[in-house]
Amino acid sequence: MAQILLTLSYDGTQFAGFQVQKNARTVQATVQDAIEQIFGERYPVVGCSRTDAGVHARDYKLTFFTDSGILCDRIPAALNAKLPYDVSVLGASVVPDDFHVRHDVYEKEYEYAICNTPYRDPFSRHTAYHFRQSLDEQLLARAAAHFVGKHDFRAFMASGSDVADTVRTVRSTSVERRGDWVYIRIAADGFLYNMVRIFVGTLLSCAQGKYSADSIPAIISSLDRKNAGATAPACGLYLNRVTYLPQKGDTHDR
């Protein structure tokens, strides 16, 4: 028996998120179907994160156990032959049996892509958020920097979530402009429900002058969702990178 770690990339547009749901197309069920076709058995797969409907991933990690002797080198091409074109397996490796792909996450980084043009771009309508008004990336970066640190981020959690511990540690934020594109990145030990999208919505409100860039600490400490900005659309959001501590993430070929 070996635990296999897969790295996936997927376009979330036509998925109702990662996690299996009745009567909905999900990444988890889609990958389980492909695994079943290749391995001849339906293995339960565990994912590193729930992602919402429409959210994308460039570096999604999931695991499953198998006693099949298939070589890891062969797994990506074999699964990709069975998977639809909006999800792709980029790598496979063996990880220790006690590795847990969600509990052992050290850090996740999300990226939010904004197409900042006066008129919308037909090519990124599902893969970026179109924001018409010219964005000042310096101002966005200044506002974003206030999120760094260990805080109770309850003001940045969608209502309806029943998580008990709302303290998270944001390790870094960055804002980068490349031509007409603006990329907002945030890395943390974990995220609350819709936290990144509310973070981005709040930054965009700062850009529009609704809040000052330096009002973020007061919004955080208010612990009140009503004080933060709107939830930015799912289409701009990417799970960009998931990291594990070296002793946990150690993999070996077979």
Task: Provide the binding-site residues for a second copy, judged by CB under 8 A.
Answer: 9-11, 56, 76-77, 80, 85-90, 118-123, 125, 127
What distance in Å separates the CA atoms of residue 129 and residue 165, rounded to the nearest whole number? 30
Q: For residue 187, how many C-alpha atoms fall within 13 Å in the half-sphere facing its CB? A: 14
- Find the radius of gyration of the CA atoms of the chain: 19
Instruction: Tell me the closest approach of the beta carbon of residue 86 to a second copy, in angstroms.
Output: 5
Decide: 31 and 19 in contact? Cβ < 8 Å: no
Closer to a second copy by Cβ: residue 129 or 156? 129
Instruction: Tell me the closest approach of the beta carbon of residue 49 to a second copy, in angstroms.
Output: 17
Decide: 150 and 167 in contact? Cβ < 8 Å: yes
Closer to a second copy by Cβ: residue 120 or 254? 120
Instruction: Tell me the closest approach of the beta carbon of residue 7 to a second copy, in angstroms.
Output: 10
Closer to a second copy by Cβ: residue 50 or 125? 125
**Helix 195-207, helix 137-145: angle, nearest 10:** 130
- The set of catalytic residues is 52
Instruction: Tell me the closest approach of the beta carbon of residue 26 to a second copy, in angstroms.
Output: 15
Closer to a second copy by Cβ: residue 80 or 169? 80
Give the rounded distance of the alpha carbon of 56 from its chain centre.
7
